[in-house]
Amino acid sequence: MSVAMSMATRPRGRRALTWGWLAALICASALACGETEGTDADVVDPGGDAAGEGLGHDAADTSAPDTSAAAKTAGTFTVLTYNIKGLPGAVTGWDTGKQMQLIAPKLNAFDLVGLQEDFIEVHHKAVVAEATHTHQDWFSAKKESARADGSHTYGSGLTLLARMSVVATQHAHYASCEGLFNHANDCLASKGVMVTRLKLSAHPDAELDVYNTHLEAGGSAKDEAVRAEQIQHLAKLMTTYSKGRAVLFMGDTNLHPHQAVDRKEIQALDLAAGLTETCATVQCPEPNHIDRVHYRSSASLKLQATAWKRDTSFVDSAGEDLSDHPAITATFSWQVTAK
């Protein structure tokens, strides 16, 4: 079965692990059982002040300053969103280290990269080892509610790479999850969202808010309720923290457009936040992927999707896919429209 077919039709509980596999997942990775968690704020309520509703602490800004003499008013950039399946080999049956090494050099083809399931430090280091992006941010912190039962053993699994300079970066965990030993095991991770404010050029109106996330998996009614809550969290962030700003949203949404309940959630986010789906803009041939890129313009910055592609170069020497998700890419043009 092709990647396109498998991603469009696979069931929600694709990672409903057995108890034995879960033991390996919790204890056999580079993270030890019961390890002290990170320090990012554990967001329980998306409420907050208008400057940063539902966001945790600022992350360190590792980007280089923008030294461009010219404040460009137009340009283009390329985007990749990719769930890299960075789970322990004891769970996946894959050589995760080798998999990351093969993915690493391919990331440099894109100006902006959002990764999901980048859970384990040794594999994270391998996958970004060859990255030439000036900004590299890994949201590795675990929720403060991590317990001895294995919940929130992992961080969010989110990474953002960018060639643009960065104004601010925020991390937030979602309030809820469903399933530790069932329902796709989402509570093993500390899922959340990264929000990165980029400067596309030195022009003061060339700022873009980039969202990278991985939403609840699973197909139960409880999973659907958690996903809906996470969508509401995102919509609130985009209408408060990113109010009046251009936005690019990407990630593994676990939302299937051909399923009515999921289509409703996609439409709810697009309507609330004023987003447009890239695939729909360019009338792409594979509209049913759960890995998605959405965007919106602002009064001062116009974004336009010009291309969408499932990049088939993310394979090994035998032509086997490097993840169980496709690498989804998009190209955008931008123009400052402020007077």
For residues 87-103, average pLDDT? 91
Range from 13-27, 175-189, 256-270 that averages highest in pLDDT: 256-270
> What Å distances lie between residue 37 and 44, 117, 204, CA to CA?
16, 17, 38
Average pLDDT for residues 286-296, to the nearest whole number?
A: 97
Q: Rounded mean pLDDT of the chain?
A: 83
Residue predicted with more confidence, 133 or 54: 133
Q: Bigger pLDDT: 135 or 50? A: 135
Distance CA 58, CA 51 (A): 12
Q: What integer pLDDT is reported at residue 24 of this predicted model?
A: 43
**Sheet containing 246-252: which strands, arranged edge to edge?**
165-173, 192-199, 207-214, 246-252, 291-296, 276-277
pLDDT of residue 179: 67
Burial zone of 150 (CB within 10 Å; 0-12 exposed, 13-18 middle, 19+ buried): buried
60 — pLDDT class (breaks 50, 70, 90): low
pLDDT of amino acid 180:
73
CA 3 to chain centre: 19
Amino acid in the structure at residue 164: M
Mean pLDDT confidence for 279-292:
96
Residue 116 pLDDT greater than 80, yes or no: yes
pLDDT in tens, 189-217: 899 999 999 999 999 999 999 999 999 99
Q: Where are the domains of the chain?
A: 3-336
Strand 291-296 relative to strand 276-277, pairing? antiparallel
| Beta bridge mates, 138 | 159
Write down the pLDDT at residue 2.
Answer: 34
Angle between helices 221-240 and 260-273 (to 10 degrees): 10
More confident residue, 91 or 71: 71
Give the per-residue pLDDT at 33: 35
Q: Give Cα separations from 87 to 21, 25, 152 (angstroms).
A: 11, 8, 14
Tokens 């009614």 found at: 221
Q: Among 61-75, 110-124, 246-260, which is the least confidently predicted range?
A: 61-75
155's CB contacts (< 8 A; 6+ apart) are 38, 119, 139, 140, 141, 142, 189, 190
> Which whole number is the average pLDDT over 113-123?
96
Q: What is the mean pLDDT of residues 320-339?
A: 95
Structure tokens at 162: 């960018």
Is the per-residue pLDDT at 172 higher than 50?
yes
Residue 225 has what DSSP assignment? H
State residue 40's pLDDT score: 39
CATH topology classification for 3-336: Deoxyribonuclease I; Chain A (3.60.10)
Q: Is the pLDDT of residue 243 over 50?
A: yes
Least confident residue range of 31-35, 56-60, 253-257, 318-322 = 31-35
Give the lowest-confidence range in 59-63, 174-178, 256-260, 296-300.
Answer: 59-63
How far apart are alpha carbons 169 and 194 in whole angstroms?
7
Around 282, how many Cα atoms within 13 Å sit in the side-chain half-sphere? 19
Residue 29: is its pLDDT beyond 80?
Answer: no
